[in-house]
Structure 1
Amino acid sequence: MTAGSARHAIEPRVSTKATPTGHRPADRPQAIADIAVHIQRLWEPRMRRQLLAHVEEHRGDGIDPMVLDALRQLR
């Protein structure tokens, strides 16, 4: 895999009516659910703990609101 293809693989889908996060408002609940599933299935427990500690320590500053909503689903 080349550096260019790796970058392309993680870019969000963007529609013409997308929000700044790349999701249409109607997609938001599904996007939050997908983020929660991704974190639960693919992140190591250590990584999840570090993210939760960061969110708690910094009151969520710097974290996308959809990620914060996804983390609430995991608690």
Structure 2
Amino acid sequence: MPERGFDVDRSPDSAYLPIATSIGAGETVVNMIIQPAHGTLVLDFHADGRLLGAEVLGAQALLTAETIADAEALT
């Protein structure tokens, strides 16, 4: 896992994994939504096609408990 980790928010059961080092306001112009059986993934892309980050909705169903615990320990 990258040292910067990712953000987990249990209240809406979501997680965000930044891929880019920094994401400026308005940089995300394209979102790709993927809906596996038990949640939703939203991939954020820059206008030039670079992947900026990924949001996981339904994180407890799509991520392991260990992954969530590791992410929470980094924040």
Shorter-chain TM-score above 0.5? no
TM-score normalised by length of structure 1: 0.30
The structure where strand makes up a greater share of residues is 2
Instruction: Determine which structure has greater relative contact order: mean sequence separation of CA pairs < 8 Å that are 6+ residues apart, divided by chain length.
Output: 2
Q: Which of 1 and 2 has greater Rg? A: 1
**Structure with more helix by fraction:** 1
TM-score by length of 2: 0.30
